[in-house]
Structure 1
Amino acid sequence: MARMIAFTVALSIMVLAANDVAAQPFSVGARAGRAAGTLVIGVDEIAFRSERPEDGRQWPYAAIRVLRIDAPNQLTIETYEARRWLVLKHGHQRVTYTIAGEGIPSEVVEFLLDRVARPMVTRVLPSPLERPLWSLQVRHERRGDDAPGTLELYADGVAFRGARPADTRFWRFRDLASVLPLDPFRIEITAREADELKPFTFQLVQELPAGFRDAVWARINAPAKTPVEALQSPAVAGVRR
């Protein structure tokens, strides 16, 4: 009985924490170059507030072309605005913020995955993550420096949990273009990053289970919801699929 009460209390605390992230903005000290201030992640936008008005910025989520979290302490926002000196090269304005303290919590990553419609790149796993449907020991093939870890399938996406935190990635199914078995021990997952397709090749310790391949393929190619189905969905407030 005592264990059941403790579990119930812990679960309630987790739910309240998740609700707090969605109910009020997350604010943290941040810096971009010489500009210091506060990065505010809210329900409708991300804003940077500074004592110097010229350093202040704000982006509705619909105005963000690419959102990158390359580390807990690093967040990059790329917009649709063209860089004046790179217009002919299709350059886009980009700003990278260095986050103070412990950085962006995994609960905030989860919140952003539900708000950002365009492809999102994150090396920080969202929270909470349930037990994976599949977990495969793999090596991410890279030139001269393969990264060991586990390839994990969840109800909301695919994660590569690297042995080194910097190697970790998480993709929503909507951000994946394809999954292709190259041979019984290698699989290629292609992700969308802005207007580009980026392949990730993984070498498996054991032979690729057909169930993993089929489960990922089915979720990537799931039919889009009709407007009526979307309104009936409990996740109507977000964009995650």
Structure 2
Amino acid sequence: MRLANRHAIITGGASGIGLATARLFLREGARVALLDRDAGALARVAAELGVAGLPVDVADAAATEAAIDRAAASLGAVDAVVNAAGISRVASPLETTPALWREVMAVNLDGPFHVCRAAIPHLRRAGGGSIVNLASAAGLVPRPNYSAYGASKGGVLMLTRCLALDLARENIRVNAVCPGAILTPMVEATMAAQPDPASAERAFLARYAMGRFGTAEEVAGAVLYLTGAEAGFVTGSALGVDGGSAWH
């Protein structure tokens, strides 16, 4: 069991990559607490998996800190954190209103900062641990009409590297995973919202050398690696799970 005796908090745990990561971590022996702002979905998933589920919007700093503390109390310790909560908004520069920009930044960039800031004292008490932030291939390679999303995920990458530097001597590793086109409910909703979903999907996948969507389980495998002992000398990295989009 690769994560035996690990105590993990996973945000965005009610669906998509967060849920796939929770399932994998449990199979690998970890104790898990889930955070998500969709209280209904979270309650169903938490009951199914037999784990603690704490509804919270990670854009709210105070509420996030309280939720992290409650999750830590339920687990008994925290030595792994996965920031998988996120939203996607596709809009041209002029359609990207200040409100839309702030919405994306509040969840995608402020959220991981709030979670990390609240979790660091618990990781210190545990003697160290691992933080994995879900960034995106869109934080590495620009995409049309992704200015807010791309900027938020680029910010996550720099946050990851700065925290890795700040925390390295405390045995706290901080890394990022950069998914590409992963078939999650968020991506399905993004495609469905386009004027011509089929055409949009073809154009989307044309940017990927492998020419297909990835799965949430494939991303979860990368998160597992960065969390486990095999990655003990890895910090400040950005691991692409992107079907070749970074160079295609």
Under a length normalisation based on structure 2, what TM-score does the superposition of the two structures give? 0.26
Structure with the largest fraction of helix: 2
Structure with the largest fraction of strand: 1
